[in-house]
């Protein structure tokens, strides 16, 4: 994700919120889920289902409907050989907010498929709605009941109100928790600077609740850090987590590991200290290695590699990169990629397997861009980097944007944004994420009174105006967003804070 210098948060209120559940543009809807098969006796030869001659079987697939729109349900009727007449269908009482057309639903003689529009109002309850329908022959001789589920969800870029309280989860403790790591099972970790400047990590269970078995009532604490905004957070397959950042002495970058229960692993101390004042820290991790970077002087970055147990790798120790790198990641090829600037020119650098500077890209960007605040790998290869104009303690009115490389680490030109550059909102980009379709999620953090929000761009860097309000999901009033990540089910998890509660940590879930 990102590395930051000199950040200051300025509290303010947001009036327009992504929690405003407006109908999606164009009233579009989507459906999905597993289909239901008709019941009956399956022939031993593996052929089609067979039902008794005087019976019927109704099938309806699960579906998804966006509030403010409708989804088409397909009803399938299988008849026994002696059932030839009309068959009526009645739905049980629908949950509040769902509606069906007025009138009788009837499978006419010889008809096996019916389609019906199920609508969802704006103010109905989100989540799984359990529905049922019963098909009955007109003489009442036989019937078939089918239970199915419809997920009622908000429009893309609105709060998922099945999460926490109306989409907001209160986190334990205090502090700025701006790093996130998501696991394949849907659980997640949120980390950053907690109480008394201590590193803090909170585990969120896959059901969207704070895992109270982790650490102390859900929160694990590490050691003091000078600036949590330079931290990275990594979730490992064994349930442990690693968090990195500035060391208290100001001259080192350090990482700590928490066990799967949230206790500090005292045997793991990955540190690189050269004695020089650190201007920025960065970190990245693969399935085999942990990388820590520290930028010192005017244009020097030192990168060291460690085993996953925190032991320094003598063959890849204190590699010098002749530029000021401010963010680091590892690509799908396992190589380290970094973003920074030299003499106000944006640099994207990829190190080879031995740590030598390999490919270097200088993407197009206006000359006023002088900082890199984040970098992430693309699933198809290459990276996307966040760049920014301002370089001062207050970040009063920075302008931020995105640049990208292809899989060969060449700067992307006309195929990304405008001539390879994407202009974004004023603010500070706190995190970058990518969903399974290649869309780019950008979290704009609070800075100098500018608004915050999660923005969605296409894989080609075009703002997706169907997301939230004109491409932006703004936080609810009196809240700010600080980071965003994509869950395995496609929904967006955003960390943030409540302003009037002294920036007390909160977590939000957003429909994607």
> Which pairs with CB-CB distance under 8 Å and at least 24 residues apart come from 129-134?
129/94, 129/95, 129/98, 131/91, 131/92, 131/94, 131/95, 131/98, 132/91, 132/92, 133/58, 133/60, 133/75, 133/89, 133/90, 133/91, 133/92, 134/58, 134/89, 134/90, 134/92
Please state, in angstroms and as integers, the Cα–Cα distance from residue 438 to each residue in 58, 460, 490, following that order. 38, 9, 12
Q: Distance between terminal CA atoms of the chain?
A: 20
The radius of gyration of the chain's CA atoms, rounded to the nearest angstrom, is 27
Domain positions in the chain: 25-153, 168-510
Q: What is the pairing mode between strands 168-170 and 176-182?
A: unpaired
Beta bridge partners of 221: 200
Report the Cα 474 to chain-centroid distance in Å. Answer: 15
Return the closest-CA partner of residue 487 out of 218, 137, 101, 204: 204
The CATH number corresponding to 168-510 among 3.30.1490.20, 3.40.718.10, 2.60.40.10, 2.130.10.10 equals: 2.130.10.10
CA distance 128 to 132: 13
Output the 3-class SS for 4-41. CCCCCCCCCCCCCCCCCCCCCHHHCCCCCCCCCCCCCE
* Backbone dihedral angles phi then psi of residue 179, each to the nearest 5 degrees: -115, 145
Asked if domains 25-153 and 168-510 share a fold, the reply is: no
Q: What is the pairing mode between strands 63-66 and 143-153?
A: parallel
Return the closest-CA partner of residue 150 out of 123, 118, 120, 128: 128
Question: How much is the pLDDT for 26?
Answer: 38
Helix (H, G, I), strand (E, B) or coil at 230: helix
Tokens describing residue 71:
């989804």
Question: How much is the pLDDT for 341?
Answer: 80
Question: How much is the pLDDT for 85?
Answer: 94
Mean pLDDT by groups of 10 residues along the chain of 512 residues:
36 46 42 36 47 96 97 98 96 95 93 97 93 96 97 97 94 82 93 74 93 90 61 88 83 89 90 85 90 86 93 93 88 90 83 91 74 88 84 52 91 87 76 93 71 88 94 91 93 92 92 95
The sign of the dihedral angle between the CA atoms of 429, 358, 439, 211 is negative
Q: Could you write out the DSSP letters of every residue in 80-94?
A: -TT--S-EEEEEPPP
Question: How much is the pLDDT for 241?
Answer: 92
Contact 44, 177 (CB under 8 A): no
* Residues sharing a CB contact under 8 Å with residue 287, sequence separation 6 or more, in sequence order: none
pTM of the prediction? 0.85
Question: How open is the CA angle 294-309-269, to the nearest 5 degrees?
Answer: 50
Q: Which residue has the tokens 């003489």?
A: 139
The CATH number corresponding to 25-153 among 3.40.50.1860, 3.40.1360.10, 2.60.40.10, 3.20.20.60 equals: 2.60.40.10
* Residues sharing a CB contact under 8 Å with residue 196, sequence separation 6 or more, in sequence order: 224
Question: How much is the pLDDT for 332?
Answer: 86
In the sheet that 472-473 helps form, which strands lie side by side, from edge to edge?
428-434, 440-445, 453-457, 472-473
3-state SS of the chain: helix, strand, coil percent to 5? Answer: 5, 50, 50
User: What are the counts of helices (DSSP H) followed by strands (DSSP E) for the chain?
Assistant: 0, 37
Question: How much is the pLDDT for 431?
Answer: 86
> Which pairs with CB-CB distance under 8 Å and at least 24 residues apart come from 102-108?
105/75, 107/75, 107/77, 107/135
């Amino acid at each position: 994700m990102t590395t930051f210098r000199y950040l200051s948060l300025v509290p303010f209120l947001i009036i327009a919120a992504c929690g405003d559940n407006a109908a999606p543009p164009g009233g579009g809807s989507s459906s999905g889920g597993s289909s239901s098969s008709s019941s009956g006796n399956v022939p031993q030869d593996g052929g089609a289902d067979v039902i008794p001659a005087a019976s019927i079987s109704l099938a309806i697939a699960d579906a998804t409907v966006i509030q403010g729109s409708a989804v088409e349900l397909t009803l399938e009727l299988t008849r026994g050989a002696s059932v030839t007449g009309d068959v009526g269908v009645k739905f049980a009482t629908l949950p509040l907010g769902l509606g069906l057309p007025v009138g009788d639903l009837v499978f006419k003689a010889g008809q096996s498929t019916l389609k019906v529009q199920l609508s969802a109002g704006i103010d109905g309850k989100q989540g799984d709605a359990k529905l049922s329908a019963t098909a009955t022959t007109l003489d009442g001789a036989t019937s078939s009941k089918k239970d199915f589920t419809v997920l009622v969800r908000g429009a893309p870029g609105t709060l998922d109100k099945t999460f926490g309280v109306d989409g907001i989860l209160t986190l334990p403790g205090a502090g700025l928790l701006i790093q996130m790591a998501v696991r394949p099972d849907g659980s997640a970790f949120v980390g950053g600077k907690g109480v008394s400047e201590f590193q803090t990590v909170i585990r969120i269970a896959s059901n969207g609740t704070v895992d109270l078995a982790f650490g102390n009532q859900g929160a694990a604490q590490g050691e003091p850090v000078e600036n949590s905004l330079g931290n990275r957070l990594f979730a490992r397959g064994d349930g442990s987590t690693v968090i990195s950042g500035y060391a208290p002495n100001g001259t080192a970058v350090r990482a700590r590991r928490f066990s799967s229960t949230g206790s500090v692993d005292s045997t793991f101390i990955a540190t690189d200290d050269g004695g020089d004042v650190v201007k920025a820290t960065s970190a990245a991790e693969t399935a085999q290695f942990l990388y820590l970077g520290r930028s010192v002087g005017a244009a020097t970055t030192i990168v060291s590699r460690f085993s996953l147990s925190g032991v320094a790798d003598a063959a890849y120790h204190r590699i010098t990169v002749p530029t000021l790198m401010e963010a680091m990641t590892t690509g799908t090829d396992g190589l380290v990629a970094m973003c920074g600037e030299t003499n106000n020119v944006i640099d994207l650098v990829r190190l080879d397997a031995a740590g030598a500077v390999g490919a270097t890209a200088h993407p197009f960007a206006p000359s006023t861009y002088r900082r890199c605040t984040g970098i992430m790998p693309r699933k198809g290869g290459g990276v996307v980097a966040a760049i920014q104009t301002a370089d001062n303690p207050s970040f009063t009115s920075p302008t931020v944007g995105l640049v990208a490389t292809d899989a060969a680490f060449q700067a992307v030109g006309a195929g990304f944004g405008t001539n390879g550059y994407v202009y974004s909102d004023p603010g500070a980009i706190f995190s970058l994420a990518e969903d399974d379709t290649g869309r780019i999620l950008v979290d704009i953090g609070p800075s100098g009174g500018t608004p915050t929000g999660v923005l969605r761009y296409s894989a080609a860097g075009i703002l997706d105006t169907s997301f939230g309000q004109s491409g932006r999901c703004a936080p609810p009033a009196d809240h700010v967003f600080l980071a965003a990540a994509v869950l395995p089910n496609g929904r967006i998890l955003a960390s943030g804070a409540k302003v009037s509660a002294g920036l007390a940590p909160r977590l939000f879930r957003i429909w994607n």
